[in-house]
């Protein structure tokens, strides 16, 4: 990941994303880190933001 020059990285699926967060964030602290996929509750959204994610993606319309 250090050699990639991406603006953002999305970690999938959302419920497992917290486990990979530090590895991804440590490669570039300024890179946007997004969690996505299978995010189905406001509690999960809050947990992901609390863990440090910059954004979440979901197709679950009640969370839009």
Q: What's the whole-model pTM score? A: 0.90
Structure tokens at 10: 């999305």
Task: Decide: 50 and 27 in contact? Cβ < 8 Å.
Answer: no
What pLDDT digit, counting tens, does each position of 24-61 carry? 999 999 999 999 999 999 999 999 999 999 999 999 99
What pLDDT digit, counting tens, does each position of 3-32 carry? 778 899 999 999 999 999 999 999 999 999
């Amino acid at each position: 990941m250090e050699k990639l020059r991406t603006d953002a990285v999305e970690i999938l699926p959302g419920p497992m994303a917290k486990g990979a967060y530090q590895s991804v964030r440590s490669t570039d602290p300024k890179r946007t880190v997004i969690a996505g996929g299978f995010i189905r509750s406001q509690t999960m959204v809050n947990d992901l933001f609390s863990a440090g994610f910059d954004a979440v993606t979901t197709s679950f319309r009640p969370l839009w």
